[in-house]
A and B are shown apart, each in its own frame.
Chain A
């Protein structure tokens, strides 16, 4: 069964600090997908990135970067020069590769960026 662990329940940083959110997943699928979503205080779920298991290239999008390490089953997310608007709950979610195609959400990591 698929499972995700985001060991950091809450992280608090001061604005402009870099912060890394850890994600460790378990899967028995040889082909799989991983997603990151952001949930700001307003409550909506915002898609950030998806990664498939074929592609181990790290990705950068502005201040955001992702480090995918298949060997350690990790898909970590780094925010460089954090801003107050980055304050949110962040979810790493593997996709269940059966007919449900459900996203496996853990409890997420709550990030608080203080001014």
Chain B
């Protein structure tokens, strides 16, 4: 089944404790992206990647890192999480090179709480 998976789905952590949210897709998509969703603010892009070893900042990259060592994986790293990073996070992927308007497939979301 074609899908984007994220782990963990739920995480409660404390300020300053490094964490990684994994994202993996099995559709051979070259484009992957991370968003965060906050009440009243909609979804905002954190980072995106056009292909392996190619990543770039989105609208709200502060406090986050990403890597794209393999085409299928695009982990989101919070080196020192803070309470303002409490949010719902979504990973997305798409086959943009063929058609920029191709559907962006979203993962199920990761609800992160930083105490």
Contact = CB atoms under 8 A, between A and B. Distances in A.
B101 A107 contact: no
Contacts of A95: 100-101
A33 interface: yes
B105 interface: yes
B101 A102 contact: no
Report the contact-size class of chain A (Cβ under 8 Å from the partner). Answer: 20 to 34
A74 B30 CA distance: 31
Contacts of B105: 47
A103 B109 contact: no
B30 to A, nearest CB: 11
A97 B31 CA distance: 14
Residue among B48, B90, B104, B106 with the highest chain A CB neighbour number at 10 A = B104
Interface in A22-47: 33, 35, 37, 43-45, 47
A35 B56 CA distance: 23
5 contacts: A43-B88, A44-B109, A45-B106, A97-B100, A101-B94
- The 3 A-B pairs of least Cβ separation, nearest first, read A33-B101, A105-B42, A45-B106
